[in-house]
Amino acid sequence: MNEKKKLIPCPSYDIAAIESWLKDMAAEGLLLKENGLGNLIAVFEKGEAKTMTYRFEPSAYILRSDEVLDEANRLAKNDFLEEAGWKNLGIYRSYILYCHEGNAELHTESEIEAPLRYEAARARSIAMLETLVWVVLIVSVFYRRCMSLLIQTGSVILLIAAVFAVLSVFSGIAECVRLYVSSSRLEKGIPFEHEKDWKKHSRFYRAFRIVRLIAVGIACAAVFASLGDEGGAGRIHISECQEDPPFLTVQDLDPQAEYKVDTWLEEFHPRINTVRRWSDPLSIDNWIWQEISTLDTADHHWSAAMNITYYDTEYEFVSKQLFKEYERDVKMNADEPITLSGADEITAAVNQDGFIHLVFRKGKKTVYASLNVANAAEGIDMTAEAAQRLIDSVH
């Protein structure tokens, strides 16, 4: 095997550091292969130790904002550089990477290099603006359920991943700033500094990159895990649950009645995401409860349906945010407001089908519910009473 792969020890925006690293690798007998520089890994060919010069030439022609930098002239310049002993090793981000055996310099006049680096900075800025547009679109689509997603899938993990994602964006900003600064220095006649001590921060950067990858990986696992179900689902009896839900259920309406489960589904955390139970400081307990059942007494036959989402959090600001999010759903799905009491905040309304939609908050607990309890044959509706009892059952 005549190849060797190495993790790039420098951030992509630190051009001088990567150039210095590649030169040091060549001095150890590792020569970068053509198109061997990737986002994370560089591929080298083992050989004799050599003194090599590596230079990143900004591929500013992509903007075509200057006649001198159009593609035809770029190709002519590439041919000229190859005749001068510079070898094209391929494209890396917004740059073309060249190498030359021995100590050489690609540009000897800073005024020539300055507009190239300005164009590279502009190209990178445009790419970042495009990324920002997508970020805004995604946030606008998922904002309403953002807090719920954080709580359900392990907020600490997702927040850590978000921090590293933000840092990644800032690395692109740092690249633009560095390019603009270097361009202004070049215009003033100050040469661009290609030599840099890349070892100084390499350990920190490697650790940062590894932690970032792990954090993003765990966050993705947490999201996929939330699609699973560890709580159990199907036609089972409430008595078979390992623990009783901390709110009113259909059977609690009349414990003496004959209870029958038509269909029901109950989910409680952790689902598959077991990490959340130990690490999430925002949510202690979260239930998603759906139940369609009947209660038979000597006098009445009640049909009941409950759909309840229950949160118990550590922080009141989280419960308030959840209340605001679900309040919009209540106002959207129901028609006529109704009055209920017994909570710090409450919004309730009934729709045309007789279902009461409500959301209420008691301290750090937030409950969103949709329920209907009625005897259709006798025209008796006790949905409002059941909704009030649901509120009273949460402590």
Quick one: average pLDDT of 319-327? 86
Buried b / exposed e across 191-227, counting CB within 10 Å, b at 16+?
Answer: ebebebebeebbeebeeebeebeebbebbebbbebbe
Nearest CA among 53, 43, 45, 58 for reference residue 20: 53
Q: What is the separation of C-alpha 12 from the centre of its chain, rounded to a whole number of angstroms?
A: 21
pLDDT classification of 221: cutoffs 50, 70, 90: low
Contacts of 15 (CB under 8 A, 6+ apart): 56, 95, 178
| pLDDT > 70: percent of the chain | 71
CA–CA gap between residue 374 and residue 377 (Å, rounded): 9
CA–CA gap between residue 354 and residue 374 (Å, rounded): 9
- Residue 266 is predicted with a pLDDT of 56
- Find the range with the poorest average confidence among 154-168, 281-295, 376-390: 154-168
Partners of residue 56 on adjacent β-strands: 97
Contacts of 32 (CB under 8 A, 6+ apart): 22, 25, 26, 42, 43, 44, 45, 54, 89, 97, 99
- Residue 235 is predicted with a pLDDT of 28
CA–CA gap between residue 326 and residue 172 (Å, rounded): 37
- Residue 228 is predicted with a pLDDT of 45
pLDDT classification of 220: cutoffs 50, 70, 90: low
Using the predicted structure, report yes or no on whether residue 34 has a pLDDT greater than 70.
yes
State the CB neighbour count (10 A cutoff) for residue 105.
11
pLDDT classification of 110: cutoffs 50, 70, 90: confident
Burial of 275 (0-12, 13-18, 19+ CB in 10 A): middle
Using the predicted structure, report yes or no on whether residue 385 has a pLDDT greater than 90.
yes
Buried b / exposed e across 146-182, counting CB within 10 Å, b at 16+?
Answer: ebbebbbbbbbbbebbeebeeeeeeebeebbebbbeb
- Residue 234 is predicted with a pLDDT of 29
**pLDDT of 166-205, one tens digit each?**
666 677 777 778 777 877 887 787 877 888 889 888 888 8
Nearest CA among 10, 5, 6, 8 for reference residue 196: 10
Please report which helix (H) or strand (E) contains residue 312, including its range.
Answer: strand 301-313
State the CB neighbour count (10 A cutoff) for residue 88.
16
